[in-house]
Amino acid sequence: MIDFRTDPSRYRHWRLEVEPPLARLVLDATEDAPLHPGYLLKQNSYDLGVDLELYDATQRLRFEHPEVRVVVIESGKDRVFCAGANIGMLAAASPAHKINFCKFTNETRLAIEDASRCSQQRYLCAIRGTAAGGGYELALACDWIMLADDGSSAVSLPEVALLGVLPGTGGLTRLVDQRRVRRDRADIFCTLEEGIKGRRALEWGLVDELVPLSRFGDAVTERARSLAAESDRPADARGLVLEPLERELGESSLRYSRLRVDWNAERGVGMITVLGPKTVPPEDPSAIGSGFWTLAIARELEDALLHLRFEAPAVGLLVIRSEGSLSAVAAFDAFLAKHAGHWLVREIVGLWKRTLKRLEVGSRTVFALVDSESCFAGSLAELLFAADQCYARAESGGSGPSGGSGPSGACVRLSAMNFGPLPMANGLTRLETRFLGDPAALERARSLVDRDLEAGEAAATGLVTAALDEVDWDDETRIAIEERASFSGDALTGLEANLRFAGPETVETKIFGRLSAWQNWIFQRPSATGEAGALRRYGSGVRPTLDTGRL
C-alpha cells in the first residue's frame, strides 16, 4: 500500500537544507530503495516514492518556512542532475499506476509553479550533469534554470527517440507556452536523444543562464539571493509545523478527525462525508494551529483522494456529503477573507484550492448530496460546484420540483470565497465556469452571498442540479448513483474531462486535458509496452520494434 504521509526525517531520496532566505532541495536518490521491488533508481531517476517526498517538501516549505523566499533544486550526485522517470518502473507498472504516477508528478510540478506565483516562494534549478526527461521537466517548472558550462551538462526530452512515448509531465507544453521556445527548435530538441548543452541550450531558451563550472556554486547562490529580493515572504514570521496526519484505515474505509470515507468496490461507489467545524476560528492568524478547520479538512481530503486514486481503482463514483453548521463554516470563511493578506492564510486557501483541483482531475464521477444535515457554505460549497451532478433535498410540500413555498430540508450558502480565491485549472472560478456565457446568472448568484438558499431556490439559481422532494429522495438518488456506476468508466472519464473545464485553455488544462490523455494512451501502445517495445527493451542492447504506422 502506498502511504503519502511522510516528513523530512523519513526522506530516503531528498535532503532539505534551510539557509534563510534560501532553502536547498537536494536530489540524491537511494538506488536500492524503490517504491516497489524490481528496479534500481540509478542516475537519480525517480518513481512515485521519490516524487511524493518532493511534494511533501514543497508543502512544508510553504507552511513551515515563511522565511524561505527561494528554493534551489540541485543534485547530490556527480555528473547527473536527474535521469527522469525510472524506465524499469515504467516498463513493469500496471497501466493504472503509470497513469496515476504521471498525474501525481504533474500535480507536483504545478504545485511548484503555484508556490512561485501565489506564495512568492521562487524556485531555481541548478543543473550540473544530465537533466533528461522528467528531470528536465522538473527544471521547466522552476522560475530560473542554470546550466553548468562544462562540456557535458545537457538538457533533453528523449522520450520520443528513446522510449516511444512522450514527455509525461508537461514538458512539451511548458517549452512552447511558457518558455516560448520556437516551434521548429522545440521539434528538433524533442527528437534528439542526446539533448542540447552549452551555448546552444541558452540561445534556444532551454535554460536561462550558462555558468562555468569553476564558479557554478557561487553563481547559483548569487542568483538565488537576487530572486529572494523580489519576494514578499516575511523574514520574521513563525512557521506552522504540519503535524502528522492521523487516520484509521479499514478494509473499505478511512477515518480522519474531520472526514469519513467509505467505499464499496463491488458497486464502484465511494461516500465522502465532510464534518464541519466544532469550534470557532481564532481572533488572530498568529493563533492558527494544525487543527485549524480549513487547513485540516484540506489535508485530510487530499490524503483520502490520493489513497482512493491508487488503492481503490474500482471506485469510479464519489458521492460527497457534509454534516455540520452552515454558520460555523461561514465563520471560518469570514476569517479567511478578513486576513487574506496574511502569509499563512494565503497558504491555507492555496492548499484548499489545490485539493479541489485534485478532485477534479481524479478521473472519477463526482456527485454531491445536500440534505438537512449539510453545511455546504462558501469554501465548502465549492465541492458542490466541482461535482458533475448535485442534488438537494426539499421537504414535502416545499420548494421541490413540483413547486410550493414551504421550507426546504437543505440549504446552501455562498460567500466571498466562491468569487475569486479558489480558481479552477482554467483560471476561472467554478461559478464563472458554471455560468459561462450567462453573466446575469453569475451576478444573481453574487447578490445572494451570505443568504441561506433553500433547495428550490438553489436549484432555480443554478447552484444545484435539482431539488428532490423528500418522499422521492432515497429512490431518486439511488437510481442516479446506480445508473452512473453502470456506464463505461473509460467513456465517463473522457466525458467528464471534456465538460469540467469549459472556457479558456491554460497550461494546466492542456497538461491534464490534452497531454496527460495522449500520454496515457501512448503508454499502452505496443511501441512502448509491447514485448518488443522500447520500455521493455531499454538497456538490453536489443533495438525495439516500433510501429511507424499512423492511425
Alpha helices in 361-488 (DSSP H): 378-386, 430-434, 439-446, 455-461, 470-485
Is the separation of the CB atoms in 410 and 393 below 8 Å? Answer: yes
Is the separation of the CB atoms in 1 and 250 below 8 Å? Answer: no
Among candidate residues 443, 447, 319, 445, the one with its CA nearest the CA of residue 391: 319
Contact residues for 31 (Cβ-Cβ < 8 A; gap 6+): 40, 41, 42
Place of cell 421541490: 400
Order the strands of the 130-132 sheet from edge to edge. Answer: 80-82, 130-132, 154-156, 196-197
HSE of 90, CA atoms in CB hemisphere, 13 A = 30
Separation CA 117–CA 213 (nearest Å): 30
Separation CA 482–CA 319 (nearest Å): 12
Q: Could you give the C-alpha distances from 508 to 186, 359, 421, 505, in angstroms and in order? A: 19, 14, 17, 8
Separation CA 386–CA 431 (nearest Å): 9
405: its cell numbers: 413555498
Write out the DSSP string of 445-470: HHTTTT-EEEHHHHHHHTSSSEEEEH
| Pairing mode, strands 209-212 and 253-255 | unpaired
Separation CA 528–CA 538 (nearest Å): 10
Other beta carbons less than 10 A from residue 9's beta carbon: 5
Q: 347-391: per-residue pLDDT in tens?
A: 999 999 999 999 999 989 999 999 999 999 999 999 999 999 999
**Tens digit of pLDDT at every position of the chain (551 positions):** 999 999 999 999 999 999 999 999 999 999 999 999 999 999 999 999 999 999 999 999 999 999 999 999 999 999 999 999 999 998 888 888 988 999 999 999 999 999 999 999 999 999 999 999 999 999 999 999 999 999 999 999 999 988 888 887 889 999 999 999 999 999 999 999 999 999 999 999 999 999 999 999 999 999 999 999 999 999 999 999 999 999 999 999 999 999 999 999 999 999 999 999 999 999 999 999 999 999 999 999 999 999 999 999 999 999 999 999 999 999 999 999 999 999 999 999 999 999 999 999 998 999 999 999 999 999 999 999 999 999 999 987 544 333 334 444 799 999 999 999 999 999 999 999 999 999 999 999 999 999 999 999 999 999 999 999 999 999 999 999 999 999 999 899 889 988 998 999 999 998 887 777 777 778 888 888 888 888 888 888 898 988 888 77
Separation CA 466–CA 173 (nearest Å): 39
The pTM score is 0.93
Largest CA distance in the chain: 80
Strands (E) in 216-299, as ranges, are: 248-249, 253-255, 259-264, 269-275
Among candidate residues 79, 61, 67, the one with its CA nearest the CA of residue 16: 61
20: its cell numbers: 534563510
Strands (E) in 137-184, as ranges, are: 144-149, 154-156
Among candidate residues 308, 226, 323, 218, the one with its CA nearest the CA of residue 269: 308
Indicate which residues carry an active-site annotation.
Answer: 137, 159
| Pairing mode, strands 80-82 and 130-132 | parallel
Burial of 440 (0-12, 13-18, 19+ CB in 10 A): exposed
